[in-house]
């Protein structure tokens, strides 16, 4: 028992020392990385360039002058990316002295060559007018929204889409309340209800009972 207590006493004494050593090691590995991202040909600052730590979901972007600042660890890989430029990966030295490091990162333009396109005119003005009039212009967002919310489309969706939980529960409660309303007596038939006949005639005139091909 004394031996166990001795071990526990030693662990209690050495734990703060070990934690402090680990904290000092981590503190020494933290680096404040700052610098500027510029073009390699004209040395202009690149705004809104991404500065990301590889393998981690964190990073920053440069300001309108191309300047950035971010906290990294020694040995991390920093990836610089921007639209129109080739990505660059920089490794933070593990033997870096101090906790600050500055960098001037140059980025090279990423040139993309598109395939050649030959533009030819129409043989005649009449053919150009015919092709121009027969060209189908895609619908804009407003036209698409109107087509999706017209009466025919809404009726088709009501007939084909299944009911959700709220509609199903509402329908069940309505049927249950109707059964309880006529509990102990004979429920009336809608064939003798003039209001039901009026709704039937309106639905017939609207064409609700016609077979439609969607």
Cα separations (Å) of 206 from 149, 151, 159, 199, 201?
18, 11, 15, 11, 9
- Identify the structural domains of the chain with CATH numbers, from first to last: 29-107 (2.60.40.1120), 125-206 (no CATH)
DSSP notation for 165-200? HHHHHHHHHHHHHHHHHTTTSPPPPGGG-HHHHHHH
Q: Cα-Cα-Cα-Cα dihedral of 117, 122, 123, 129, to 10°?
A: 170
- 75-117 confidence digits (pLDDT tens): 899 999 998 899 999 998 888 888 888 899 999 998 878 888 8
Q: What is the pLDDT of residue 3?
A: 54
Distance CA 108, CA 89 (A): 13
- 161-195 confidence digits (pLDDT tens): 887 888 888 888 888 887 787 777 777 676 767 77
Look at residue 46 and tell me whether its pLDDT is greater than 90: yes
DSSP state of 66: S
59: part of which helix (H) or strand (E)?
A: strand 59-61
- 2-43 confidence digits (pLDDT tens): 555 555 555 555 455 444 444 345 457 888 999 999 998 888
Which is more confidently placed, 157 or 18? 157
Q: Output the pTM of the full model.
A: 0.45
């Amino acid at each position: 028992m004394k031996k166990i207590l001795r071990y526990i006493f030693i662990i209690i004494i050495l734990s703060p020392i070990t934690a402090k050593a680990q904290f000092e090691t981590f503190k020494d590995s933290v680096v404040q990385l700052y610098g500027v991202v510029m073009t390699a040909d004209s040395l202009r600052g690149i705004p809104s360039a991404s500065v990301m730590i590889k393998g981690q979901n964190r990073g920053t972007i440069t300001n309108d002058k191309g300047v950035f600042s971010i906290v990294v660890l020694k040995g991390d890989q920093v990836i610089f990316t921007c639209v129109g430029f080739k990505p660059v990966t920089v490794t933070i030295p593990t033997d870096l002295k101090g906790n600050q490091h500055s960098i001037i990162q140059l980025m090279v333009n990423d040139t993309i060559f598109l395939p050649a396109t030959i533009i030819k005119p129409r043989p005649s003005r009449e053919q150009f007018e015919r092709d121009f009039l027969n060209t189908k212009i895609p619908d804009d967002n407003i036209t698409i929204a109107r087509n999706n919310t017209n009466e025919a489309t809404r009726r088709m969706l009501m007939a084909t889409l299944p009911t959700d939980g709220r509609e199903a529960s509402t329908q069940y409660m309505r049927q249950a309340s109707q059964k309880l309303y006529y509990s102990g007596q004979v429920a009336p038939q809608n064939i003798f209800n003039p209001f039901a006949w009026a709704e039937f005639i309106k639905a017939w005139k609207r064409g609700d009972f016609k077979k439609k091909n969607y």
